[in-house]
A and B are shown apart, each in its own frame.
Chain A
């Protein structure tokens, strides 16, 4: 019987091809959109995490209160000891100190007078330690436009856009004028080893990256740092674990009476990312929900149209002695087969599209031209295991649901009028 139905299904294009196209289109859109949104959401989260928030972050309580002001006078001290403890207690995370600072980049002429000057946002990261993976994490070497990655103390890289603005060349001196941790003026000379393009508008307008030892020296922060960032070693943010670590650490290390005691937060506690993540998850569910709802209505209508078209067929089957429930079941089997085929085709195309945008991405730099958000200029889709079923299952269910509703009409059919109806 299944073979018989399948043959009819294949031959009757209006019963198969059209619904398959509808299901495939819906599933493809859902699959691709899910992969795309996942990629964009994760890129925003991970992009921010790499440069700014980490998966978890340790600061002093006081620093955390006004972190946006980069208050290095409220920095963590005895950093080596704290890092050792973090490494020991949470070995699944990679812990790295960072200092964020702001200042003026001053380029002197041959007489030592200011030739050019511009505000900079600085990141002091561990560039030169053997075990450091900060270069890989921030992809500095890969982003070099001119010159090279800093190889020795006193060397820095700046954004290429800033270098062009300052008209400064590789090997030239750049003087950082900033504020020390003690509140005094800090002036330190660096040598420009290279320029980079971060691919993030906010950084490309004026960022400087220096080795943390140099900045600790320049800002009077020996064995101190503004922040310690923790990154899960598999690079994937684990919300549940991060929250658990935060609570454990704060219970053990943080003292509410001491504003200089260390305090841990997760990326969800920063820059509204918690709300953002909730929004992202809700958006994902919303997309799938809208798809299932819309597709069910479309397929319900398709089922009704098919029911009208197949009125005679159902009538003759009833007259021949097929029960209403058997006809209903066969229609559900047909719907299942159509849903299966449409969902398979839609998933293949959707995932293929997802992989394409995962590989090549889409340039959205125009949209974030004046934004201070740390978002990559090129955002990419992210195909995960979920991408393979996020559209597939609703596609099959929507087809079944649509047919289940429209097929109820079979049970209302009066066999008493079949002879009259079948005379038409």
Chain B
């Protein structure tokens, strides 16, 4: 593990207009995340977890302060620049898997590589490797409708990991899974974190996820209230 800081937030605030007023979703957040961390943003609903994840994922911009992701200042990026950042360096895992229903498992995992214009042979190798990481090589030809919830989320992990991103952002990845599947998924992600040194940043209030985290970033009412490293 290196000490390279991939994410640096300084005095980050985010306001949303409500009527004639503003709602402050994030308030003066200072944070840095180093390569290879397995961290989680933890807090109750409305604490600002997803807003912070959005900004780090270059899906939204801060109202005040600065966020630097892999050397890119999110507040200054154009739509195309932020899309390129996501395409090349970030992976996303969603609560509801969001697999493309008309494509099979192999094609769903292949899609990010198509966006990167990677050659077919290399693509094939990378997709099969990603499916091997999540233990789904035997399901390559299956459609999402033929998979269980746990399998679908593993496909989503393979899709996020296939391009070997620097950072994976996961928003409540186990919210729709039972305990067994949740543990299976989390163990898979821990393994990938250790083997590939990929940085994982979760947004969660699920105890099962929290128990796997090596760093817990606690938010409440948009403020960073605690930051705990777990040995």
Binding site for B on A (CB under 8 A): 1, 4, 7-8, 11-12, 312-313, 315-326, 415-416, 418-420, 422-424
Contact = CB atoms under 8 A, between A and B. Distances in A.
A7 B107 contact: yes
B115 to A, nearest CB: 6
Contacts of B115: 320-322, 326
Given A1-B114, A416-B54, A416-B59, A321 B88 contact: yes
Contacts of A312: 98
A415 B60 contact: yes
B79 A324 contact: yes
Give chain B's interface residue range (CB within 8 Å of chain A). 20 to 34
Contacts of B159: 320
Contact of B83 (A4, A323, A420): A323
27 contacts: A4-B103, A4-B110, A4-B111, A7-B102, A7-B107, A312-B98, A315-B98, A316-B98, A317-B111, A318-B83, A319-B59, A320-B87, A320-B111, A321-B83, A321-B85, A321-B115, A322-B115, A323-B79, A323-B83, A325-B80, A415-B59, A415-B79, A418-B59, A419-B59, A422-B95, A422-B96, A423-B96
Contact of A321 (B87, B102, B107): B87
A1 B120 CA distance: 11
Contacts of B107: 4, 7
The prevalent SS among residues of A at the interface is helix
A3 to B, nearest CB: 9
A148 B86 CA distance: 88
B37 interface: no
B72 interface: no
Contacts of A326: 115
A7 to B, nearest CB: 7
Interface in B67-82: 79-80, 82
Contacts of B103: 4, 7-8, 11
Contacts of B27: none
B86 A320 contact: yes
A422 B94 contact: yes
Nearest to A327: B83
Contacts of A11: 102-103
Nearest to A424: B96
B90 interface: yes
Contacts of B59: 319, 415-416, 418-419
B98 A323 contact: no
Given A415-B59, A419-B50, A419-B53, A321 B84 contact: yes
Contacts of A422: 94-96, 98
Contacts of B100: 8, 313, 316
Interface of B: 50, 53-54, 57, 59-61, 79-80, 82-88, 90, 92, 94-96, 98, 100, 102-103, 107, 110-112, 114-115, 159, 171-172
A423 B95 contact: yes
Nearest to A1: B114
Contacts of B61: 416
Nearest to B50: A419
Contacts of B111: 4, 317, 320
B108 to A, nearest CB: 10
Nearest to B14: A416
Contacts of B84: 321, 323
A322 B96 contact: no
A238 to B, nearest CB: 54
A11 B171 CA distance: 30
Given A1-B114, A11-B103, A322-B87, 13 more contacts: A4-B103, A4-B110, A8-B102, A12-B102, A316-B98, A319-B86, A321-B84, A321-B86, A321-B87, A324-B83, A325-B80, A419-B59, A424-B96
Nearest to A313: B100
Nearest to B60: A416
B164 to A, nearest CB: 14
A12 B145 CA distance: 14
Contacts of B112: 320-321
A324 B50 CA distance: 22
A325 B79 CA distance: 10
A12 to B, nearest CB: 5
B206 to A, nearest CB: 14
Contacts of A323: 79-80, 83-84
A416 B83 CA distance: 13
B87 A419 contact: no
A418 B110 CA distance: 21
Contacts of A4: 103, 107, 110-111, 114
A419 B171 contact: yes
A308 to B, nearest CB: 15
